[in-house]
Structure 1
């Protein structure tokens, strides 16, 4: 599942800056629905990752039954977190 393809599917464009706030909310809601229905672990992770980057992801214990998937999500969160100021 390609990032640009996900953006086009749920928001109608691959340009995040061009998505109006209402369309962003509606697309994120459709993604959450698809996340709940998706059975393939890799596709679930991809959906969750985009939702996380949009600030709309469900909690890890809700999104992932598998402990390894939750750990992978924590690693992803760490890798994508903004650098800390020291």
Structure 2
């Protein structure tokens, strides 16, 4: 799953700037439902990562049963924070 594919699937466009507020809200809701149903670890991570970027990701202990997946998510958050000049603890 790549970001463009996810954006098109949930929001109808690969251009985040073209997503209206109503479309954003309904796409986030659908993505959260799919995250809860998805069994594939890689796909779950991709859905969680997109939700995180949109400020709507569930807590790590809710999203991931596996500690390795939670650690990968923490690393993802740290990398994003570092790229923005912020630190996450």
TM-score by length of 2: 0.92
Determine helix, strand or coil for the equivalent of 1:68. Answer: helix
State how far apart, in whole Å, the 2-side matches of 1:53 and 1:73 are: 12
TM-score by length of 1: 0.95
State how far apart, in whole Å, the 1-side matches of 2:46 and 2:39 are: 12
Match of 2:75 in 1: 75
State how far apart, in whole Å, the 1-side matches of 2:25 and 2:58 are: 14
TM-superposition CA deviations, 1:30-53 (whole Å, max 9, x none): 000000000000000000000000
State how far apart, in whole Å, the 1-side matches of 2:60 and 2:21 are: 25
Runs in 1 of length 4+ with deviation above 2 angstroms?
none
Match of 1:31 in 2: 31
Unaligned runs of 5+ in 2: none
